[in-house]
Every structure is written in structure tokens, then in C-alpha cells.
Structure 1
Amino acid sequence: MKKIVNWKLFFLLTTVSVVTGVMVMPFTYALAPLPDNAPLQIIIPVQIAQTLVLGALASFFGLFLARHIGFGAPILEGITGGEKRKGTTYPS
């Protein structure tokens, strides 16, 4: 059975998008401060969940369409697939 997408690469890209989304939060709040009565214990988890959903959708559709178009990320696919690409060296 043919795989729809490389799931290890999907989870890697989704995780990276969530981590970078969390890293941008302080900068975002510095540019546009929240009102004093804003419940941060609700806003921050919702914003992380939103980043997770959008990152997962972008990763899935990007990998899905890249496979059909013929594009790819050979270095990341080699790293997540455990196979070495010819002429590519990975740090150990």
C-alpha cells in the first residue's frame, strides 16, 4: 500500500511549527499587548492549539501535494526515513 505522506516528516514539521509558534508569542504580545482583563490561561492554550491545527494542515497538504507534483524535501526525508542519500553527509 502506498503511503499518503511521510508521517515521520509530517510530525517533525508539525512539531517545529508549534515550537516556533510558541517562541513567537512573547514578541506578538509585546507588539500588541492584551487588555488587562484578558484571561491568559485561556488565550495561550487556544493559540497553541490553533498553531497546532494550522501547522498540521499545512504540513499534511504540503507533503501530499509535493508528492503528486514531484517536489520533496530529500534531506529531511532522508533524515526521517533513516536512509542516507547519495552524496549527502549527515553530522553524527
Structure 2
Amino acid sequence: MSHLVIVADIRATPGQGDALETALRALVPPTLGEEGCVHYDLHRDNDDPDHFLFHEAWESRALWERHNASDHIAHHKSANAALVESTVIHEMTRIDG
């Protein structure tokens, strides 16, 4: 069975990278405890401190959608909207071989 892989490309409002990192880090522990979360890895660009990426894997699209509807994600979106300039979500499937 292939997992749903999510690559979330997040750009901070210019100059807000450190504040956004703090906010994004807070999402990791509760998300790792969610049903269906295989991994949830946060990365920060070495050359651009306002650029972040989550690399996620979920057992199913339904469980990823449940994650997106969770209280901690809703709180993050409302509390930190001013820190985020843009977010692009890529839904992917791993190619074995």
C-alpha cells in the first residue's frame, strides 16, 4: 500500500521566519500523535530563512484530511496567518523501484 505523501511548501511573510519556525515546530508533536501519520518532518531552507517545507506521509487521504480539520491546525492557521505569505500543497505518491 502506498502512503499519501504531502510536500507543503511554506513561505513566511518577509522577516518573520523565526516566528514562523516557532509556530510550525509547535505543530509537530500533536501531529505525530495523530492516527495515520507515518512521518511529519519540518525543514528550513539553508539559504532562505523565510522558506519552510513539511514532508509528510499519511496512511490515507482521509486521515490527512482529518489532520487538516484538527483543532491544532485550525488554531495555527488563525493565530499565525500574519506570519505566512504563501503555502503550496503537493499531494504525491512514492514511486518504488
Q: TM-score, normalising length from structure 2?
A: 0.28
Higher helix share: 1
Q: TM-score, normalising length from structure 1?
A: 0.30
Higher strand share: 2
Larger Rg: 1
